[in-house]
Amino acid sequence: MKMKLNEDVRNLLIAMSVGLVLGIAMICLPAFHHDLDCFKTWGGNILDMGTGNFYEYGYDRPTDYPPIYMLVCALMAAICREVNANTFWQDFLFRLPTVFIFVVNIYLFYQIARHFKISSKKTLILTLILAIAPAIMIDIKWGQVDCFTMFFVMISTLMFLEQKYFASMICCTLGLLTKIQFIFILPVLGVAILYRYIKEKKIGRFFLNLLICLLIYFIVYLPFIYKQLGQGDIFYIFRVLIDQITHYQTYATNAFNLYTGLGLNGDIYPNWYYIINFGIIFIFVALSVVLVIKNPSDKNVVLTSAYLVTAIFMMSTSMHERYMLPVIGIMLIISHVINSKKLLIINYFFYIVQFINTYFAWYLYIGNGFHHNWIAILLSLLSVAIFALFTYEVVRYTFSKNDTKKDMQEDTVSAETKNIDTLDNRAENRSN
């Protein structure tokens, strides 16, 4: 949507400046060297040994990251070598892309909020709440890259809202190629996009675009798997993907969720529990698909996207403390768009608990699990209870006939307004 030049640009400059200053300040502080040294080593490995056998060596273990962020690491490693950077500047440079992408996230957040016609003043306040989010600041400081996942969540959502469905599909593809956790949001966006193509009677276009996305996915992976393909190992890419998805065989990896609430954080689960875990994920994916089909409005698609990521975080195994961060932005927006005090409470509860969770993992118990810490257990159980309330609210909202009808009418008006703006712009361009 068009922005008011004076007010919106001023607001964006304020919020993006705050995010940039805080982000730069964070990466001037010490990082968590276990993870950051992995990124440095993986980037150096690509420079020294190429991409062909990259997923065979890694750092103490094969990497569980897809190609795009590994190429970012290779670029940072090349810059560090070129300028002969010492440890401080290596840490700074390897974390710098995350700061830049976080500033872009602030811009995308503002655009999504304005799409939903939140006032510019309120949008500025919400954007500043995102810009100073303490959980994100800790994530940046310690060298994590969840802001990249947030970027692809934001931009794929924005493209969907602007009815640029093919662009949204491309962004989803690139998100999967950057961090595998993007897959959490994919079922909702995928079904919502498919629904829109069916509604427009362009199902053939959907499958053509899907084929293009699969081709892009394969092309990006090709430099990393071509040697194995040359040896006739056509299933190598699937083994890489399975390893990325199942890399951590713990009930919980420092996440405040069901398993930490049961005192199982850091404990290894038996192989047979894979089946139960995927069954749990399937239940919530199926529920989310039903919710989107029942109410395919823009509001409900964004709400259900945030819900599914929260569900997987709360109820699935192997969750790290930071895996909810990519949807902190869209949760913040949608809780203010939908007229529900309970959703507001749920949103700010998770906003605060995400900070406590990251603080616990990276300051109080770094290198150790908090198996029997009563604060972690109580907050985890409380989080599960709040998630149950979240489930109720999402289902109630979706199946409310009045809310569904109102949402669909708003989408229709939004689409008509966009078409009018497009025609006006074309007419203006012709006259010029």
User: Is 428 domain-assigned?
Assistant: no
Q: What is the pLDDT of residue 231?
A: 85
pLDDT for res 415: 57
pTM score, whole prediction: 0.90
In a domain, 286, yes or no: yes
Does 344 map to a domain? yes
Does 55 map to a domain? yes
The pLDDT of residue 408: 57
pLDDT of residue 244: 74
Residue range of the domain that includes 49: 5-420
Question: Given this model, what pLDDT does residue 211 score?
Answer: 97
Does a structural domain hold residue 181?
A: yes
SS (H, E, C) the chain: CCCCHHHHHHHHHHHHHHHHHHHHHHHCCCCCHHHHHHHHHHHHHHHHHCCCCHHHHCCCCCCCCCHHHHHHHHHHHHHHHHHCCCHHHHHHHHHHHHHHHHHHHHHHHHHHHHHCCCCHHHHHHHHHHHHCCHHHHHHHHCCCCHHHHHHHHHHHHHHHHCCCHHHHHHHHHHHHCCCHHHHHCHHHHHHHHHHHHHHCCCHHHHHHHHHHHHHHHHHHHHHHHHHHHHCCCCCHHHHHHHHHHCCCCECEEECCCHHHHCCCECCECCCCHHHHHHHHHHHHHHHHHHHHHHCCCHHHHHHHHHHHHHHHHHHCCCEECCCCHHHHHHHHHHHHHCCCHHHHHHHHHHHHHHHHHHHHHHHHCCCCCCCCCHHHHHHHHHHHHHHHHHHHHHHHHHCCHHHHHHHHHHHHHHHHHHHHHHHHHHHHHHHC
How many other CB atoms sit within 10 Å of the CB of residue 231? 9
Residue 432 maps to a domain: no
Mark the ranges of the chain whose per-residue pLDDT is less than 50: 1, 4, 58-60, 420, 423, 432
Per-residue pLDDT, 58:
47
pLDDT for position 229: 84
Domain count within the chain = 1
In a domain, 159, yes or no: yes
Check residue 418 and give its pLDDT: 57
Residue 83 within a domain: yes
Q: Is the distance from CB of 31 to CB of 144 less than 8 angstroms?
A: no
Confidence at residue 431, expressed as pLDDT on a 0 to 100 scale = 52
